[in-house]
Structures are given as structure tokens and as C-alpha cells.
Structure 1
């Protein structure tokens, strides 16, 4: 037996079922925390800065924070386990919410943006949680276990935005600045999520996997590769390169088009109701079909699901390009965009877990999440100028190049 594997026992199966349930519950809470504050961040930045031109910085700073914190949280997971790493990520997100509220009170844009960076920890831990679902997963069910955790995010993502009203009412009662009440609800949800991680992830799935590997491989397995950095692993593994490229490229495509769709729709007179419906369809596409995609990943392989996801992304971009001034076609294209992203990132995440041995996985996963978030931040930042110069249909056409790069990388693998 390889030191990169461990024997699947009745105990490991029982622990794995518990781990998936705990991660799913914590993801619901984390989704509520993120959903209750995501749109508020853009409005709060606009209010504090006095200019709508700064509104996109809320998402950009959040993505940057997720990228910066992904690797440290992954290193913490490798040394202390998922329980400590995930709960620490939630606490950092809560600290970010506190900084945001203080910044709103003193009307400081730099402090507000710093708070958004810290709140990016919520996104970083959500991404790490999907990898935690694979620590003890059997090879035949890895995609399904991962998908169950991803799917649970749907609940929080739907519930969170509906807490805007109660959050503002709470803020008024507490005498807080406008658009900050939701951060109280988001912080409470993150604290509850941290408690779920701390209490529920006992025993820790990553530590169990490490101990089992050590028992098989002996002292050598405890020392081999522990000092190897994630970027070095990425350079040395063709499979890791393809997986991370898939995740980064797909995320950049999704963020770039999604971020500019509300701007485009309202720019030619679409109602806010239509904008809300379009984004809702997008969120449904991102998360609702995860279990089916997880099954397909296990049944037919991650590579085939990635290629299917890229085909769906291509269809979404073509539809957005040809129907850019039709509300219904844009809404359908955003739904397909979410579905293509879901297929590509779920299967791409499975590829990351398969690319290297278990001793290396946390570091590679951290680098993967970091690069994925950086790509999203870059995509969102670049999308604005591209939209201004060549329009929504031009932006859609330009993003096809990223899809082509991913497809070539997957088809051309050896």
C-alpha cells in the first residue's frame, strides 16, 4: 500500500459521514455570513467614498483577502488540522466585519477596504472546506462528498441576502451607521460556524489521514515533502498545473461577466427586479446542481466534467454576446455561467486532490485557492474598463479566449 493512501475502515467511513455533515452545516452558516454582507459591502463603499466608481472595490478587496489568506490557512491546516484552520478563518472574517463597522462609523475608506480584505477570509475558508470533505473520502465517492459540501452553500447564499432588511432594522435599533446592520448578522453566523468547526471536527479528518499515512509509510512519510512549498509542487506536477489553470481561468470568466451584468442591465434600463432575478439564476447555477455534478465526476472522471463545464461556459458567453440587449437571454446566460463554473470548479477541485499525494495536498490546495481568488480579482478589475471600451458583448467575446486556453490544456494532457 502506498504511503499516499490509507486503508478505508468502518471507523474512517463513520468519521467521513460525520465530517461531511459538519462541513455542510458550517457552510450554511458561512454562506449566510457572506450572503448577508456581500452586496452591502458595495453599497457601504459607495456611501463612505461618495462615489459609485469605488463600489467594485468591495468585491475586489474580498477576493484579494481570500487570495492572501488561502496559503497561511492551508499551512495551518497542515500543522494543526482542519478544525483549527477553518475556525481561525471564521474568526478572521468576524474581525473583518468589526473593522468594517468601525470604518463606517469614522468614515474611513482605507480602513473600510482593510476590513473587506480581512472578510475575504470567509471565502478562503469556504474554499478550504470543500477540500476538507476529501481528506477521508474514498476514491469512488470523492466527487460526491465534495459536492454535498458545495451544495450546502446554496442555502446560505439564498438566505443571506434576504437578511438585509432585518439587518438594517437591527442597525437602526443599535444606532449603527447605514448598511452595517447586516455585518452584525454576518458576524454572528460566522461565529456559529467557527463553533461548529471546533466542536464538530473531532476527530480532525486531515490529522486522521496524516496518521494513517504515517502508519503505512513510517518515519519517512512524516518528513517527505513537508518542507516542499505549494508553488514548487505546482511547477513540478503537470496534473496540478492543469487543475489550477482550470480553476483560475473558470473563476476569472465567472467573476468578470457576473460583476458587470448588473451594470450592463441597469445601463440600458432593465428593472432592479430583473437584475435580482438574473443574479438569483446565477447563484442557482453555481450551487444547486453540485450533487449531480459530483456524481458525474465520480462516474465519468473529472476531466470529462471539466470539458463539459467549459462547453457550458462557452454557450453562456456566446448567448450573452448575441443577446446582450435582451433581458431574458442575459438571465439565461448568467444561469449557464453559474452552471459551467460549478462543473469546472467542482471537477477541477477533485483534480487538485488527485494531483499529488496526501502529504502535499494541503499546501497545493492553498496555492490553488490563492491563485483562483487572484484570478477572480483580476477578472473583476479588468472587466470594468473592457466593458467601458467594447461593451458587454465585447467583454463576452474576449472571455472566450480563457475558455479556449482551458480546453486546450485539458485536451492536450499526456
Structure 2
């Protein structure tokens, strides 16, 4: 692992005030990067399926872009997690965002040349931005007290709302801008994504200093050395050992919410367009959905910290079930009911991601946390890829209503998982 100077470590280890100030400054830098990252994320969500449908000439494979960029995010999540563990959050996250920007630019080039193979490759690379956008939420927890971890995650996520909501609502203007340059309209949002992801990487690379993960790891190592040398000296509470049950439950919560959310979200634009809705209306619905994915985060984080991880995980399953039922019963002409369904879908995902993330952070020690987080995000990305790939096939073979109900029912599996986690749950040691 890359090292931080002993003098710098000492200056933060001996001053809780300086450490808290750095924690707050780290959150500010992450928040700024997440605003750009959210805008980059929105492109693939909003028009990825429509672009594939246009280039491939069939709706049956419209879920493929979501599958590809979530599959690409799986590999990127593993790499970003491992790079972050060895080199710090700054290098890992900056590299992931810039790679995502390169992928978005590749999607634009593929659309210009009508090259389907290039589109598939570019979408895989674009997935690096998606993975990094999610992993950035962990950066705020590295220096956070245990009682504030979910709140730290939520503060990083809520900032994504600004870019993520703006992105879908810029679909029509970006399409017009792209057309003025001789580029297909549906590639316009990916122009925005290329710039936004790159800017997110630049912000993190230049301003995420000192690196929160490297500093937290160094302070912990120093505390351990001091405790060994002076066993009778009071020290900060120890980091938790690996809690395999906590890791399993946190991972399951996030994986199930991801499958349900991606499957329904991916096919909603295709469903709307097949019933005569235009890009502007699609942008509004998806914008509301993404807003509810991220905007409630600050309140969700406080609820997770105060009410507990498990009650909020149960709330995630019930909210996603409600989303599936509302989407399945929405009349083709009802924009209002679709907006409600997609809002509930985003809210359920938000509950699941923040409660699951908090469970993971609680259950992993600082020395291996980033690597473990990256590995878990691989499973989340693969779950999203599965949901995206199967969504188009299910809708082509049955209907959007069947897909929505299936996603809602799947999310109910969260409840027995978290009930199991409460039976003889191991005691957890937490940071102060």
C-alpha cells in the first residue's frame, strides 16, 4: 500500500479536531465529484436502451446496453477497489471516472459510424463510470465515526441527485446539440457523460488530499502499534474483525435491490416509447426515478443510523414491491402512475443501497475494506447486468407488467434474509 508521511499521520492521529475537519472536507470533494458523476450516469440509463433499439432494429435486445455497462462496471468495481486499497481512494476513483468518460466518447463514435461492435465495447468501458460513481460513496466513510457511517454514505449519494436529475432532462437539448454536429440525437447524452465523468475524475485527483483511506489505515496501524507497545494505555475502540454474516446480509440486500431496480428501470423507456411517448416524457420519468434514487439519501442515512440497518432493509423490500405493483397496473396512457412507480422504485433502491452499504462497512476492517467493497460491488454490477439482460427478453416474451411484478416479488426475499441475520447475530465492534 502507498504510504503517508509519519508526520502527517501523527498530526491527524493526535488531533480529533483536524481529523473531523478533514472528514468534512473529504465529503465536500466527494460531493462535487458526485454531481458530475451523476450527470454521466444518467446518459446510459435514459437513452442506452433506445440507442440499442435504434441501431439493432429490435426491442428484444434493448436491455443489452444496461447489461453491458453493468457488466463492465463489474470488472471496473474489482479494479477500482483493489487500486484504492493499494494506492488510495484518490487514484482508484479518478482512474475509474476517466475510464468511464473514455467509454462514453466511444459510444458517441459508435453511433456516428453505426458500428454495433464498437457500441458494445464502448458500453463495457462506460460501465467503469457507473462502478466508480457507486464506489465513491465509500470514500466518505473512511474517516467517519461508526455512528455516522450511513449518514456519510447518504451525503455522498445525495449530491449525485443534482447531476443525475439534470442529465435525463437534458436529453432533448443534448440531442439537438448532437444533431447540429451531425451526430445521432440519441448519442447526445453520451457527449455530456464523457465530459461529466472526466471532470469528476479531475476533481478527485487534484483535491482528494490527503487520501482518506490511506490516512485512516495509517492511523489505525499506528494505534495498533501503540497498543502493543503500551498495553495499559487507553486507545480508540478497535476496528471490527470480518463479520461474515454482516457481509453476506449487506451484499444480499444490495444485490436483490439492484436486480429489481435495473430490470424495471431499463424497460420503462422502451415501454413508454412503444405507447407513443416522446424523449422529453421519457426524460421526465427517468429524471424523477433517479431523483428518488439519490435525493432521499440524507434522510435515509439518518434513519439507517437511528432506526438500524435491518428495519431499513425490510423497508427497501416493501417499497420495491409497491413499485412493481404500481408499474404493472399503470394504464398505457398514465404518465402519473408511471412517475409514481419509478419514484417508488428509486426510493426502494435507495433504502437498500444505504442500509446494505452500512452493513458492509460495519462488518469489514479498514485494512481490507476497499478490496472487499470492490468485490461486493462486482456482485452488485453482475446483478444489474442480469436484470438488464433479462428485462428485454421477459418483456418481449410476456409484458412490461409481468416484468414489474416479478421484480417486486423478487425484492421480498430481503425480508427472510434480514430476519435470519438477527438470529444469534455476532456482536460487532465499532469505531468511535
Q: TM-score range by the shorter chain?
A: 0.7 to 0.9
- Residue correspondence of structure 1 range 13-412 to structure 2 within 5 A: 13-36=20-43, 38-168=45-175, 170-172=177-179, 174-176=181-183, 178-218=185-225, 237-268=244-275, 275-323=282-330, 327=334, 328-412=336-420
Q: Secondary structure at the match of 1:412?
A: helix
Question: For the Cα contact (< 8 Å) 2:150–2:358, is it kept in 1?
Answer: yes
- Cα distance, 1:379–1:42 mapped onto 2, change above 3 Å: closer
Kindly tell me: are residues 352 and 272 of structure 1, through their superposed partners in 2, closer, same or farther at Cα, counting changes over 3 Å? Answer: same
* Secondary structure of 2:170 counterpart: helix
Are the counterparts in 1 of residues 168 and 283 from structure 2 also a CA contact under 8 Å? no
Cα 1:14–1:339 change in 2 (3 A) is same
Corresponding residue for residue 3 of structure 2: none
Structure 1 segments, 4+ long, off by >6 Å, are none
Count of residues paired in the alignment: 397
Between 389-398 and 272-281, the greater mean CA deviation after superposition: 272-281
TM-score, structure 2 length as denominator?
0.84
Q: Output the CA distance in 2 between the equivalents of 1:400 and 1:67.
A: 24
Match of 2:426 in 1: none
In 1, Cα distance between the equivalents of 2:142 and 2:219?
Answer: 11
Q: Aligned pair in 2 of structure 1 residues 178, 264: CA closer, same or farther (>3 Å)?
A: closer
Mapped partners of 2:43, 2:396: distance in 1:
29
Greater alpha carbon shift after TM alignment, 39-48 vs 54-63:
39-48
Shift of 1:110: 0.9
After superposition, the Cα gap between the structure-2 partners of 1:205 and 1:319, relative to the gap in structure 1 and judged at 3 Å, is same
Kindly state the Cα deviation for residue 21 of structure 1 after the two structures are TM-superposed: 0.5
Q: Which runs of 5+ in 2 are unaligned?
A: 1-12, 229-240, 424-432
CA contact (8 A) 1:324 1:392 kept: no
- RMSD, aligned CA: 2.7
1:199 Cα deviation (Å)?
Answer: 1.5
Listed one character per residue, the Cα deviations across residues 300-350 of structure 1 (whole Å, up to 9, x for unaligned) are 111111111212112222333444557233332221111111111111111
